[in-house]
Amino acid sequence: MRRRELLDGRSGERRDDPSVGHGHRLAKASQGLVFVEIFRLLVVVLGAVAGMQLGEHVHRTGWAPLTGVFLGAGITYVLGGTVGRVVDHGITAAVRRLRSLPAAEVLAAAVVGTGGLILGLAVGLPLLSLVRSPVDAPAIAAFAWVLCIFGVRIGALKGRDVARAAGIAHLLDPRLDHQIAGGIVADTSALLDRHLALLGQAGLLGAGLSVPRFVIDEVRMLAESPDEVVSGRARQGLDNLAAMRDGGVRVTVVAGDAPGVEDGDERLLSVTRRLGGRLATCSKSLADAAPIAGVPVVDLRRLAEAMAPHHEVGDELSVDLVRPGRLPRQAVGYLPEGDMVVVNDAGHLVGDRHVAVVVSGVRRTTQGRLVFAHLAGSPSGAGQVGEPA
């Protein structure tokens, strides 16, 4: 019940009325139409004026100026609508892109970019008056444009730092002042791993733990899986999350919005970067991608390997056997630290708990250690050794 209260959080959500969504789409379409028609009108006026001037240049009297007006207005009427729709689509795409960026990054990009443009013009304009050359103006324009784009990209990359330095972080995005700087953002694999709970119990999550909503949804879906091992680990992960909150860890379920990002790993990296935290994961691919994306990562696989006991051949273990292995008569179980144990000649004991086994071999894999064993009391090395399905 406690897990439901902590992680459900859906009772206050409101379903969107389809008629409201339809009306919203109509409003957006009408706004685009208004923009295109006004843009077309301005272009037509410009074309009419240009046509009149061209007609006066050809013949100041007679029908030439009037003909130029009609020709200019007619041509620009067609071109104005086409260009207006292209510009409207470009603006819409840019707004959609900017919507996913924090306000601090947008403001910093605009300010630093404008500063770069002004710096380029300030350096270039004096040279324009000193050096007389046909290439002066294009060269100065290119130089100012390069500084502008450089400033935009630097501002977008360091927007949060600029906002904090300017003391306006709380105005642009209140989360920047009190979010999880130095805290942990957990993905699905981290929630399914017991070592995240161990970090919380040891008091090493003092900066807080944040979990994106889509990660919670995925774990809840896994908790309903027909695979008993997967569902058991998922339910244990949800229980651990509730226990960490009860134990004093500041657990926050965040929205995890990343508009325009479909890939799950990219969404996690985007959310972690936005929150200013460190990503906790057991995924090798995600752990490798995080540093490239500039996201600090806590690799729980390496932590598990460092903390896991080193099982030697001949050690006796107690393991719960949960499913058959790949080869005949094999059974598979898991140690408390998450290592898989393949037990030979134990297929008839699947479902039994606390089965005494003896280690016959250990293999290191990308997911941790794979332990091979045989039943205590049986001849050593009996049966075949092979990986489970």
pLDDT of residue 23: 41
Domain extent at residue 364: 311-375
Helices 213-223 and 264-275 meet at what angle, rounded to 10? 130
Sequential DSSP letters for 136-203: HHHHHHHHHHHHHHHHHHHHHHTHHHHHHHHT-HHHH-THHHHS-TT-EEE-HHHHTSHHHHHHHHTT
pLDDT bracket for residue 177 (50, 70, 90): very low
Q: Are residues 243 and 365 in the same domain?
A: no
Q: Are residues 111 and 198 in the same domain?
A: no
Burial class (CB in 10 A: 0-12, 13-18, 19+), 282: buried
pLDDT of residue 61: 65
Give the tens place of pLDDT for each residue, 55-90.
Answer: 777 766 667 777 777 887 888 888 877 887 887 777
- Give the burial string for 300-321 (b: 16+ CB within 10 Å, else e): bbebbeeebeebeeeeebebeb
pLDDT reading at 383 higher than 50: no
Give the tens place of pLDDT for each residue, 305-317.
Answer: 777 677 788 889 9
Strand locations in the chain, DSSP E?
184-186, 209-212, 251-254, 278-281, 297-299, 316-324, 331-334, 340-344, 355-365, 368-375
pLDDT of residue 155: 64
Domain edge (last residue) among 262, 281, 306: 306
- Total residue count of the chain as it appears in this document: 389
Q: Are residues 287 and 318 in the same domain?
A: no
The larger pLDDT score, comparing residue 62 to residue 2, is at 62
Q: Are residues 353 and 272 in the same domain?
A: no
pLDDT reading at 234 higher than 80: yes
pLDDT of residue 159: 60
pLDDT reading at 258 higher than 80: no
Q: Are residues 248 and 335 in the same domain?
A: no
Q: Are residues 228 and 154 in the same domain?
A: no
Query: What percent of the chain clears pLDDT 70, i.e. is strictly above it?
Result: 70
The larger pLDDT score, comparing residue 19 to residue 76, is at 76
pLDDT of residue 113: 74
Q: Are residues 126 and 74 in the same domain?
A: yes
> Rg (Cα) of the chain, in Å, rounded?
32
Give the tens place of pLDDT for each residue, 127-152.
Answer: 767 766 666 666 777 777 777 777 77
Number of independent structural domains in the chain? 3
pLDDT bracket for residue 54 (50, 70, 90): confident
**Average pLDDT over all residues of the chain:** 75
- Residue 3, domain member (yes or no): no
For the domain that residue 336 is a member of, what is the CATH number?
Answer: 2.40.50.140
Domain edge (last residue) among 253, 285, 306: 306
Give the tens place of pLDDT for each residue, 36-48.
Answer: 788 788 888 887 8
For the domain that residue 284 is a member of, what is the CATH number?
Answer: 3.40.50.1010
pLDDT reading at 331 higher than 90: yes
pLDDT reading at 343 higher than 90: yes
Q: Are residues 58 and 133 in the same domain?
A: yes
Among the ranges 88-97, 208-217, 361-370, 374-383, which has the highest mean pLDDT value? 208-217
Q: Are residues 134 and 44 in the same domain?
A: yes
Q: Are residues 69 and 199 in the same domain?
A: no
Q: Are residues 268 and 337 in the same domain?
A: no
Domain edge (last residue) among 164, 189, 211: 164
Whether the CA torsion 239, 243, 244, 245 is positive or negative: it is: positive
pLDDT bracket for residue 10 (50, 70, 90): very low
